[in-house]
Structure 1
């Protein structure tokens, strides 16, 4: 069952509680890794693009769909080293080619769902509104590992709901939304890996 686009107040509150519970379970080291996640990604984007952080963040975001972070960075580095994107679906490759040829990422990427928000989080780790809702962020909020089931995050309404509950959790915690997302992502993915 996918999450409904319009959740009632009780369901939204449960999602916020699930996020805060995962946040509260973070060790000191996990919290530090999560807090540094986007600043580190910003530095990587800057380095791989030789100071063109906008382009670097756009290429990383464009290549992020269905890829692990390690694979994502490998593909982005290869694109900058060779001047040509490879190793991904045609749509992602075309977006990378457009960004590398000089188009602005916010004109190429879908800015109101995951890829656009991921780009914004990497470009500016202090953006108070950007929130990357990937499969792990979704599963944290709903309190269940969906595995290979569809999360429906391509639906703007469903994405907006998930973004809203992360922003609410972040407000209660006194943190930026992307920091809450990154810390909980670290905790969740390490639990999956058994770390």
Structure 2
């Protein structure tokens, strides 16, 4: 687990790891990563009957500890059946509240991964939110931590890594969510 109070040298190292992962991306990976949240936004519109906030909120609520394919399947099924299923109670409660009309920002933890995931899907061109998941963490620390806890529920640790992605994005000349998505594509396709 990275220290909550990282030194400037550590922060620079995390940022360099992110930019190195970006530089390792093929042109195809950069294209797919840049379009990732746009495609997720289109899915959110499709499954929700045109309500991007609702579709994005349900996708985000059902995202924890699920692959993207499973996340999509559960969200699509929730809208078809009118109720969420196949996840832990907390995620299901959040998804059901969003489907019943509660604003996702009133349901989701807006200062952590799930809230930022919602914001990136709802508006793929928003330059503020950064999704820091286990993959984003592992990219920044240059090692795969497996099933170990990365401590990303700690707001200071989460924000430290988000700031490193923002700094890398400024250096690259791209918005942070696209840097995160491109590096995520490279990271998951590493084998």
What TM bracket, shorter-length normalisation? over 0.9
Query: For 2:100 and 2:157, how far apart are their aligned partners in 1?
Result: 32
Q: Does 1:186 align with 2:176?
A: no
Query: For 2:83 and 2:12, how far apart are their aligned partners in 1?
Result: 45
**Counterpart residue number, 1:145:** 144
Residue by residue over 1:36-76, the C-alpha shift from the partner in whole angstroms, topping out at 9 and shown as x without a partner, is 00000000000000101100000000000000000000000
**Counterpart residue number, 2:161:** 162
Instruction: State how 1:6-25 maps to structure 2 within 5 Å.
Output: 6-25=5-24
- 1:149 deviates by 0.8
Query: For 1:151 and 1:177, how far apart are their aligned partners in 2?
Result: 21
- 1:6 deviates by 1.3
Structure 1 SS opposite 2:65: coil
**Counterpart residue number, 2:31:** 32
Structure 2 SS opposite 1:146: coil
Residue by residue over 1:157-193, the C-alpha shift from the partner in whole angstroms, topping out at 9 and shown as x without a partner, is 11001100000000111100000000000000001xx
Structure 1 SS opposite 2:120: helix
Structure 2 SS opposite 1:58: helix
Query: For 1:143 and 1:14, how far apart are their aligned partners in 2?
Result: 9
Q: Does 1:83 align with 2:82?
A: yes
Query: For 1:126 and 1:149, how far apart are their aligned partners in 2?
Result: 32
Residue by residue over 1:112-167, the C-alpha shift from the partner in whole angstroms, topping out at 9 and shown as x without a partner, is 00000000000001111111111000000111100011100011111001100000
Q: State TM-score, norm by structure 2.
A: 0.99
Query: For 1:18 and 1:91, how far apart are their aligned partners in 2?
Result: 34
Q: Supply the RMSD in Å over aligned alpha carbons.
A: 0.5
| Structure 1: 5+ residue stretches without partners | none
Query: For 2:22 and 2:143, how far apart are their aligned partners in 1?
Result: 15
| Structure 2: 5+ residue stretches without partners | none
Query: For 1:135 and 1:76, how far apart are their aligned partners in 2?
Result: 21
Aligned length: 191
